[in-house]
Amino acid sequence: MAESVASAAVENVTNQAMECASPYLRYFFCYGEIVQDFTNQRNALKLRKQRVDTRVHEANRQIEVIYEDVEDWLKRAEKELEETQNLQDAIDHVKCFKWCPQWGWRYCLSKKLAEKTPIISDLLQTSNFAQVGYRGSLQGIEFITSTHFMDSKSSKSALNQIMEAMKAVNMIGLYGMPGVGKTTLAQEVGKHAGEQKLFDQVVMFTMSQNPNINNIQDKVADVFGLKFQTSSREGRAEELFKSMQRVNKILVIVDDLWEEFELKIIGIPFGDDHKGCKILLTTRRQQVCTKMNCQKEIQLGILSEDEAWVLFRDQAGLEGNSSALNNEAKKVAAQCKGLPLAIVVVAKALKGEGLDLNGWKAVNQRFKDSRHLDNEDFGDVLQPLKLSYDYLKKGNNQMTVNDIQMCFLLCSLFLEDKEIDIEILIVCGIGVGLFPNANSIEDKRNEMVMAFKKLQKSGLLLETDDADSVKMHDVVRDFAHWLTSTGGNRFMVKDKLKEWPDMVESFECYTAIALWNCSSNIKFPDKVKFSKLKTLILQGEDWVDLLVVSSTFFEEMKALQVLFLENVSFSTERFPSLPNLKTLCCVHCKLKNFSSSLTNLEVLALFKTRIYGISEELVKLSTLKYLSLHNFYEESGMIIQPSLIERLTNRLTSLQGCTMSQIL
């Protein structure tokens, strides 16, 4: 009993002495305990770090944003494990020489272990993360993928204008013809805005002709990290509206807008609702920019010839610039007429074909003949153009749509790169019966002028420096020829005709034929049977050496409604009965023995045309509704007498349309 009490007293004194001498004596006498505690804590930290690393890896895989304190903890844990590895190695070294320890060295090790253990313990205590990350807002696939942006003169100018306009206005409209690169440029704007941190958030979505509002709302919500709590479109719009209002600066890119649209239907705050929200919209129809009250309208033009070649060469995988093969490839690139979509589609379709010089020549000829559109590889060129063409039906009745579409198709009958006089198009349009519900010729004229403006604003026709003419992009013209290659409206257009083409039975299916730059040496057949032909255009290649056509040539064209002649010499003395002919238009022609046998003629337009023996015949045209005489010459030695002028005037006052100028 006494020994037990004495032993307890000694232990108590020893402990008190240890506490008084602690921690220095503890480093000597509790080395094993210190080592064990350190080892346990360090192993626990390794295991805990592995678990946190696994959770972070899974969160990254789910594209979550990792919390900063988690990333900081991992860095500290990694640092402590690295720094204490040498201590662990030292412990293992001591175990190997435990029968002859170096007391001074073990004291130092014990001290270091004791100092590190609380740090490791603290890391363990702060490692219980409920979540290591959160679902962040999406940046938008448009801004993290390559856009193949072509830094052309036009696109660079438009980009600079947009970036400058965003400093001053809230609504910007970018318009241009289908395939010109509006979407690609808009994506580049979004990238610039993000990289330069001009906005807190950038979102881009596509409207298209029939927008899916729910899908658009989901896209915008993803970008802003919003989880909808309601299911109705209106409720989701309100949630989105309030969520976006909490973000100071926002750029919203509305791509491919076809008509006026209220953005609040989606939930986009704008104007007084959010002055920090700016809108960039893209459209192929300029009038959409106007209806959306865009404060800045910017047109995106086509590429220059050099820019087009660089894009084509890169997309087709060609090298260099000077080889004979590349010179032929340049001709193919030139056929795309600077339209980026056409260039990319054509180049990719031909890439890898291993074309030799003859192969490129064959491709070039196919383009000249507009036969490339038969290849399914070029469908991506046709699709956006077909959408624009079909969209003409929007907001118009079926009859008006057909008339507007026919105005478009009429333009395709004219030469490549030609500026087409609207007056010529109008007289042709009247002849084929466009806008039949219009009460007068003047009303028909107004309808057609509006139709051409609509086509220009839709990107299907191009504006020219002359307000009285329009122009059709060559790729769009090829598209029109593709449309008229089958179906009820079959067109044939040929240029630089050196001999009369072989007539086959299939030629009878054509409703419109245009033969341009016909050689004066061509021997025209006496008669040609075109039973369905409604429009015929004949042009000689020289206004001095005129193309001579016999009047009997037209005898079997009973359905003919429009006859357009340029640089042609012909006589109407024995002109056949053409019961449906409504329009006769002559430019730089020589017209002999003008006859009133054209009993149903409604439109007569003579431009710089020499006429023999016109006199009384004009007055006899009882069905005439529109007469246009510009710079026409009476070469039979007869001058129009004042009495005839008076009679013409009386006759013309009853006409629905008339212009007479410089009658000599």
Residue burial 131-146, b: 16+ Cβ < 10 Å; e: rest = ebbeeeebebebbeee
The range of the structural domain enclosing residue 278 comes to 141-299
CATH number of 544's domain: 3.80.10.10
SS3 category, 147: coil
Residue 390 falls within a domain, yes or no?
A: no
* Residues listed for the chain: 664
Is the pLDDT at 652 greater than 70, yes or no? no
Whether 121 shows a pLDDT value over 50: the answer reads yes
The whole-number average pLDDT for the span 143-170 is 80
Q: Which CATH number belongs to the domain containing residue 424 in this structure?
A: 1.10.10.10
The HSE-up count of residue 16 (CA atoms within 13 Å, CB side) is 6
Q: At residue 11, does pLDDT exceed 70?
A: no
Same-domain status, 264 and 403: no
Which CATH number do you get for residue 260?
A: 3.40.50.300
Residue 633 to residue 642: CA distance in whole angstroms: 16
Could you give the CA distance from residue 291 to residue 300 in angstroms, rounded to a whole number? 19
Contact in structure between 574 and 552 (CB atoms under 8 Å) = yes
- Within a domain: residue 365? no
Higher pLDDT pick, 470 / 153:
470
The CB-side HSE value for 421 (13 A sphere, CA atoms) comes to: 8
Average pLDDT over residues 121-148: 71
- Residue 203 clears pLDDT 60, i.e. is over it: yes
Are residues 83 and 112 in contact, defined by beta-carbon separation less than 8 angstroms? no
Question: How many other CB atoms are found less than 10 A from the CB of residue 594?
Answer: 24
Residue 335 lies in a domain: no
Does some domain include residue 232?
yes
State the distance between the two ends of the chain, measured CA to CA, in whole angstroms. 153
Report the distance separating Cα 210 and Cα 119, nearest Å. 62
Q: Are residues 576 and 634 in the same domain?
A: yes
Helices 441-457 and 398-411, axial angle in degrees (round to 10) = 70
Are residues 119 and 150 located together in one domain of the fold? no
**Structural tokens at position 481:** 């020829």
pLDDT tens-place string over residues 57-100 = 888 877 778 888 999 999 999 988 888 887 777 776 666 555 44
Same domain for 65 and 190?
A: no
Query: Residue 253: inside a domain, yes or no?
Result: yes
Question: Is pLDDT at 22 greater than 70 in this prediction?
Answer: no
Q: How confident is the model at residue 3 (pLDDT cuts 50, 70, 90)?
A: very low
Give 399-404's long-range contacts (Cβ < 8 A, gap of 24+): 399/436, 399/437, 400/435, 403/434, 403/435, 403/447, 403/451, 404/451, 404/454, 404/455
- Residue 456, domain member (yes or no): yes
Q: Are residues 65 and 149 in the same domain?
A: no
3-state SS of 189-211? HHHHHHHCCCCCEEEEEECCCCC
Residue 396 has pLDDT above 80, yes or no: no
Q: Does residue 159 sit in the same domain as residue 245?
A: yes
- The per-residue pLDDT for 263 is 93
Confidence grade of residue 5 (pLDDT, cut at 50, 70, 90): very low
What pLDDT is attached to residue 535? 95
Q: Determine the longest span between alpha carbons in the chain, in angstroms.
A: 162
Kindly give, in sequence order, each residue whose CB lies less than 8 Å from that of residue 512, ignoring residues fewer than 6 positions away: 409, 413, 484, 489, 490, 491, 492, 533, 534, 535, 536, 537
| Same domain, yes or no: 153 and 104 | no
As a whole number of angstroms, the distance between CA 378 and CA 361 comes to: 18
- Lowest mean pLDDT: which of 331-340, 352-361, 416-425? 352-361
Q: Provide the token pair at 324.
A: 């004979």
C-alpha of 480 from chain center: 19
Q: What is the mean predicted confidence (pLDDT) over 584-591? A: 89
pTM of the predicted model as reported, rounded to 2 decimal places: 0.61
> Is 104 among the domain residues?
yes
For residue 566, is pLDDT > 90? yes
- Out of 77, 111, 135, a domain closes at 135
257-315: pLDDT as tens digits: 988 999 999 999 988 899 999 999 999 888 899 999 999 999 998 888 888 888 888 88
Indicate whether 458 and 530 sit together in one domain. no
- The last residue of a domain, from among 473, 496, 521: 473
pLDDT on residue 212: 87
Tell whether 462 and 505 lie within a shared domain. Answer: no
| Contact status, residue 557 vs residue 579, Cβ threshold 8 Å | no
| Omega before 436 within 30 of 0, i.e. cis | no
What pLDDT is stored for residue 329 in this prediction? 86
Q: What is the pLDDT of residues 486-534, one digit of tens each?
A: 888 899 998 888 888 776 555 678 999 999 999 888 888 877 778 899 9
Of the residues 431, 450, 473, the one at which a domain ends: 473
> How distant is the alpha carbon of residue 651 from its chain centre?
53
Residue 162: pLDDT band (50, 70, 90) is very high
Could you tell me if residue 380 is inside a domain? no
CA distance 544 to 541: 9
Distance of CA 412 to the CA centre of its chain: 22
Number of domains in the chain: 4
Q: What is the mean pLDDT of the chain?
A: 80
Going through 17-68 in order, the beta strands assigned E by DSSP cover: 64-66
Q: Could you read off the pLDDT of 132-144 as tens digits, one per residue?
A: 887 766 665 555 5
Among candidate residues 151, 159, 163, the one with its CA nearest the CA of residue 303: 151
Q: Report the pLDDT value the prediction gives residue 102, as an integer from 0 to 100.
A: 57
Give SS3 for 433: coil
DSSP 291: H
User: Are 559 and 580 part of one and the same domain?
Assistant: yes
Q: Do 224 and 137 form a contact (C-beta atoms < 8 A)?
A: yes
Same domain, 449 and 506: no
Share of the chain above pLDDT 90, in %: 27
* Residue 407, pLDDT above cutoff 90: yes
Residues 131 and 191 in one domain: no
Question: Measuring CA to CA, which residue among 483, 465, 480 is closest to residue 411?
Answer: 480
Beta strands 462-463 and 568-571, pairing class = unpaired
- Note the pLDDT of residue 100: 45
Residue 642 CA to residue 623 CA, distance in Å, equals 23
What would the DSSP string read from start to end of 529-598?
--TT--EEEEEES-SSSPEE--GGGGTT-TT--EEEEESEEEE-TT----TT--EEEEES-EEES--TT-
